[in-house]
Amino acid sequence: MPHDSLSTPHRERPRRGHLQARKLGVYLLAVLFAVLGLAGCGGPGADSEAPPEQALNRTVTIAAGALPSSVNELIAQTRAADTGLIYFMLYLPLLKENTDFKDGPATFGPRLAHAWEFSDDRRQLTFHLREDAKWSDGVPITADDVRFTWEAQRSPEVAWSGLEMKTPIVDVEVIDPHTVRFHYETPYANQLVDAAQGVILPKHVWSELPFSAWRESNLWFQERAVSSGPFVLERWQEGERLVLRRNEHYFSEQMPAYDTLVIRAVPDEATRIAQLRAGEANFSIIEPAGAVMVKEIPGLELIAYDYRQIGFVTWNQRRPIFQDVRVRQALTFGIDREAIVETLNFGYSRLTASPYLIGAWVYNENLERRPYDPDQARALLAEAGWRDTDGDGVVDKDGEPLRFTLETNNESKLRQNITVMIQEQLSRVGIDVEVGSADFGALIERERAGNFDASVLGIGIDTSWNLDALFHSRSIGAHSWNLGAYRNEEVDRLIDEIQAVAEPADAKPLHDALQELIWREQPVTILYQNQKLVATQGIGNVAPSMISAWANVAAWQLVDD
Residue 120: pLDDT over 60: yes
Q: What is the average pLDDT across 325-334?
A: 98
CATH fold of 95-206: Dipeptide-binding Protein; domain 1 (3.90.76)
Confidence band of 69 (pLDDT split at 50, 70, 90): confident
Say how many C-beta atoms besides its own lie within 10 A of residue 45's C-beta.
23
Q: What is the average pLDDT across 443-448?
A: 93
Return the pLDDT at 237.
Answer: 86
Q: Are 252 and 14 in contact (CB under 8 A)?
A: no
With vertex at residue 16, the alpha carbon angle to CA 13 and CA 21, rounded to the nearest 5 degrees, is 105
Q: Which residue has the higher pLDDT, 522 or 161?
A: 522
Give the model confidence (pLDDT) of 140-156 as tens digits: 999 999 999 999 999 99
Confidence band of 23 (pLDDT split at 50, 70, 90): very low
Q: CATH 3.40.190.10 residue ranges in the chain?
A: 10-77+230-300+537-558
* Sequence-separated (6 or more) residues with CB below 8 Å from residue 248: 136
Confidence band of 83 (pLDDT split at 50, 70, 90): low
Q: What is the average pLDDT across 64-93?
A: 77
Q: Which residue has the higher pLDDT, 432 or 36?
A: 432
**What average pLDDT does the structure give for the chain?**
87
Q: Return the CATH superfamily for domain 10-77+230-300+537-558.
A: Periplasmic binding protein-like II (3.40.190.10)
Q: In angstroms, rounded to a whole number, what is the distance separating the alpha carbons of residues 166 and 152?
A: 10
Terminal Cα-to-Cα distance of the chain (whole angstroms): 31
Return the pLDDT at 413.
Answer: 87
Q: Are 418 and 311 in contact (CB under 8 A)?
A: yes
Return the pLDDT at 163.
Answer: 87
pTM (predicted TM-score): 0.77
3-state helix, strand, coil in the chain (%, to 5): 30, 20, 45
Give the model confidence (pLDDT) of 544-561 as tens digits: 888 788 888 989 999 875
Q: In angstroms, rounded to a whole number, what is the distance separating the alpha carbons of residues 116 and 130?
A: 11
Nearest to 444 by CA among 404, 402, 411: 411
Strands (DSSP E) contained in 281-431 are 283-286, 301-315, 349-350, 396-397, 400-401, 403-409
Q: CATH 3.10.105.10 residue ranges in the chain?
A: 307-531
Give the model confidence (pLDDT) of 284-315 as tens digits: 999 888 998 999 999 999 999 888 889 999 99
Q: In angstroms, rounded to a whole number, what is the distance separating the alpha carbons of residues 244 and 241?
A: 10
> In the beta sheet, which residues pair with residue 217?
none
Give the CA-trace dihedral at 80, 486, 416, 363, to 10 degrees.
Answer: 70
DSSP secondary structure code for residue 296 in this structure: T
Residue 40: pLDDT over 60: no
- Bridging pattern class, strands 260-265 and 241-246: antiparallel
Reply yes or no on domain 307-531 having CATH 3.40.50.300: no
SS3 of residue 38 by DSSP: helix
Task: State percent of the chain over pLDDT 70.
Answer: 88
Give the model confidence (pLDDT) of 189-214 as tens digits: 889 999 999 999 999 999 999 999 99
Q: CATH 3.90.76.10 residue ranges in the chain?
A: 95-206
